[in-house]
Amino acid sequence: MNDDAPPPSAASYRVAVRERRWLAPGTFELQLERPPGFRFVAGQFLRVRHGKAWRNYTLVGGPGDDYLAHCIRHVDAGFLTPRLAAAEPGAQIEIDGPHGYFVYQSQERPAIFVATGTGVAPFVAMARAGIRDFTLLHGVATAAELYYAELFSAGALRYVPCVSGDNSASRSPAPVFAGRVTAYARERIAGGPYDFYLCGRGEMIREMMALIDERFPDSRVYTEMFF
């Protein structure tokens, strides 16, 4: 998530980098120290500051973890991600938050999480928070981008990796669907009412909204656009 506007009033902290690990080419998880007493709900995000610019990054750690973490797509020409990708343990970073309302609402209807790329981040936090009764469709271009596959395979009611490009090198513990998340939803999910949580590219969200109107009437829809 990106946002050049200054953040609304919220608690600010200076925290140290704990660890950085690459999840796939072009995507890394950044772990930060957790300030004492800091609380958040799975699905919320922090604003990270560098100079006068702020960027929004969803938390992927569980609310009970002793650290904060983000899943970040490295943008070579980006303002902040190259700096975060190069940050060494101990480097100081200013954060602000938590923010956001894209959180799990327990209901009687089945929950279907739909993500593209790093839009899977809030669902990582939800899985780490112990939420289990959901189906996750994770859409990526190549199988190498199926980060957190083991977590979802172990915790989700159903995990469906959807690979629109090369899936020949897939090591996913779940069978791979060759195609986009919208194709899977259209072809494989029975009609009826659900709670849909959509996070990722605006194109995917718009296509899913049209499909939900067509095939899944009376569903509830929660959205978070990443880029």
CATH number, domain containing residue 183: 3.40.50.80
Residues 82-96: pLDDT tens digits? 999 999 999 999 999
Confidence of residue 203 (pLDDT cuts 50, 70, 90): very high
Q: Which residues constitute the domain of residue 121?
A: 111-225
Ramachandran angles phi, psi of 199, nearest 5°: -145, 125
Are 78 and 119 contained in the same domain? no
Residues 63, 209: Cα–Cα separation, whole Å: 30
Are 22 and 118 contained in the same domain? no
| Share above pLDDT 90 across residues of the chain, in percent, rounded to a whole number | 80
Residues 7-28: pLDDT tens digits? 455 789 999 999 999 999 899 9
Q: What CATH number is associated with residue 24?
A: 2.40.30.10
201: exposed, middle or buried (Cβ count in 10 Å: 0-12, 13-18, 19+): middle
Confidence of residue 4 (pLDDT cuts 50, 70, 90): very low
Does residue 176 lie in a domain region?
Answer: yes
Are 192 and 162 contained in the same domain? yes
Domains of the chain: total: 2
Are 126 and 214 contained in the same domain? yes
Are 92 and 117 contained in the same domain? no
Confidence of residue 106 (pLDDT cuts 50, 70, 90): confident
Q: What is the dihedral of CA 34, 102, 42, 143, to 10 degrees?
A: -100
Lowest mean pLDDT among 7-21, 22-36, 109-123: 7-21
Would you tell me how many other CB atoms lie within 10 Å of the CB of residue 53? Answer: 13
Nearest residue to 182 via CA among 196, 195, 166, 168 = 196
Are 75 and 131 contained in the same domain? no
Q: Which strands, in side-by-side order, build the sheet including 27-33?
A: 53-58, 45-50, 92-99, 12-24, 27-33, 67-73
The reported pLDDT for the residue numbered 2 is 44
Average pLDDT, the chain: 91
**200 φψ region: left (φ > 0), alpha (ψ -120 to 50), beta (else):** left
- Which pTM value belongs to this model? 0.92
Looking at the chain, how many residues does it have? Answer: 227
Does residue 106 lie in a domain region?
Answer: no
Domain C-terminal end among 70, 99, 128: 99
Does residue 77 lie in a domain region?
Answer: yes
